[in-house]
Amino acid sequence: MDPEPCVSDSGSDGAWEDEGGEEPRARCLFCPSFFSSAEELFCHCTSDHGFNIGMVAHKHGLDFYGYIKLINFIRLEKPTVEFIKSLSTPGPWEEEKYLKPALEDDLLLQFDIEDHLDSTSFSCPNGLTEASPLLQRLKYAEHRAELAEAALARAQEDLQKMKHFAQDFVMNAEVRSSPSTGAIADLCEDEEDVYFSSYGHYGIHEEMIKDKVRTDSYRDFIYQNSHLFKDKIILDVGCGTGILSMFAAKAGARKVIGVDQSEIIYQAMDIIRLNGLEDRISLVKGRIEEVELPVEKVDVVISEWMGYFLLFESMLDSVIYARDKYLAKSGSVYPDICTISLVAIADSSKHADRIAFWDDVYGFNMSCMKKAVISEAVVEVLDPSTLISDSYVIKRIDCHTVSVPELEFSSDFALTITKTSLCTAIAGYFDISFETNCHKRVLFSTSPCCTKTHWKQTAFFLENPISVEKGEELKGRITIHKNRKDPRSLIITLSIKNLKQTYSLQ
């Protein structure tokens, strides 16, 4: 068994000799070559691999510990130089697990990167300051303790914020509205970070993947139209766990680039490697609007961008950006054709449970809550037996030509009533189609009459039900626009028979 390395009293190089008396050698980060020093190795990386440690450290502002994490990340994950160059700050090596050395007595972990942070270039040769493994471990332990204390402080601060938020939410439950117009006030929360954070949790991806209507449709489209993917460059916007990227690779794509801002992309990296597809699939963390891709143009842009009522979350904006910047002139976007439809609902029981309930709550009149409750669109699975009209398409979107301003619109509608009843709500759903240049057209619907999906349907309850007769046309107008203070949520206004109600979908 090798003895523990120690620091010699004289500080000579002999302190690093092993049992055989050989000097330690540093293994290259990107090839099997070995070098006698970190300095020599980094010169090799710069000249042979195009990897300049000084430039990377400068770009990401790496301190001593950030440098350690980067080296261990490269050792463990084996990314390409192109992938590292494409990354924005923070890098995927920020996790604390990368503080643990990937190689025992790695000479690169003894290199003092902080001496070179004031320069964007790394000169060869250069003097190095080597630290002993014992000192290195002490620094690791001290840093981990500091990180733990900081994490505890942040957790306590977050807990306090949550308490204040809960108190404010309860005390301000009523949404301020104008009695004459019914217009609700703009929402105040900035949800951008929360949005991407929510997609960092595995649960939401599990729900989407288990949605067979969704996942089977994408799989069938890709596999049954492999001519669209074979030997092509594919961009997967909002790649999540990478399932669409892997479908594309299996269909013969030459290169697939997946982009996602949420933390789930780190799991996607593991998934790609587990399936042996890392040679064809490259993943980039960040917003598509901010990252630099390793290619100038792609042949296909694919994305599962749809939200509730189709446009909730505004991810189609990002797909449009990717289309305009990266799609080749002869390229295609999928899915390409999308429609939003409305239908009338008669469900007195559900209406009473949601609206009339507030008239008598354990003997107390809480009817003032109705204004707050009625203004919230409800996402739920509707009973198809409650439909009392034919559907009406209020918006058709061609993803090859649509612009971002067109995603805010108004539309007249006329719902042909199929059953004399009391209309208690208007519901919305969407249909998706993969059509352009397809040998096998694939489509799916989120209609209440079809197999349920995780998108469900979106119901807009009427404060006062409307009496309708079979054969009549229930005419109205709907306006959809983004909440200016939270662009990922929607404000929907319905006008029916001289009644006007505004809803929020958030």
Which residues are catalytic, by number?
304, 313
- How many angstroms separate the CA atoms of 182 and 423, rounded? 20
Q: Which DSSP category does 90 fall into?
A: S
Q: How many residues does the chain have?
A: 506
One-letter amino acid of 135:
L
Q: Across-strand partners of 430?
A: 340
Single-letter code of the amino acid located at 148: A
Candidates 458, 434, 392; CA nearest to 214 is 434
Convert 385-439 into a string of H (helix), E (strand) and C (coil): HHECECCEEEEEEECCCCCHHHHCEEEEEEEEECCCEEEEEEEEEEEEEECCCCC
Query: CB neighbours (10 Å) of residue 488?
Result: 20
Question: Within 13 Å and on the Cβ side, how many CA atoms surround 72?
Answer: 21
For residue 6, the Cα-to-chain-centroid distance in whole angstroms is: 47
Mapped onto helix, strand or coil, the DSSP state of residue 142 is helix
Return the closest-CA partner of residue 141 out of 109, 107, 96.
96
- Give the Å distances, CA to CA, from 468 to 427, 458, 473: 16, 21, 9
Phi and psi, residue 467, nearest 5°: -75, 130
Q: How many angstroms separate the CA atoms of 6 and 124, rounded?
A: 29
Q: CA–CA separation, 62 vs 29, rounded Å? A: 18
498 Ramachandran zone, left/alpha/beta (phi>0; psi -120 to 50)? left
**DSSP per-residue string spanning 173-214:** -SPPB-TTT-PBPPP----HHHHHHHTTSHHHHHHHHH-HHH
Distance separating alpha carbons of residues 18 and 128, to the nearest angstrom: 21
Would you say the C-alpha torsion 137, 141, 146, 150 has a positive or negative sign? positive
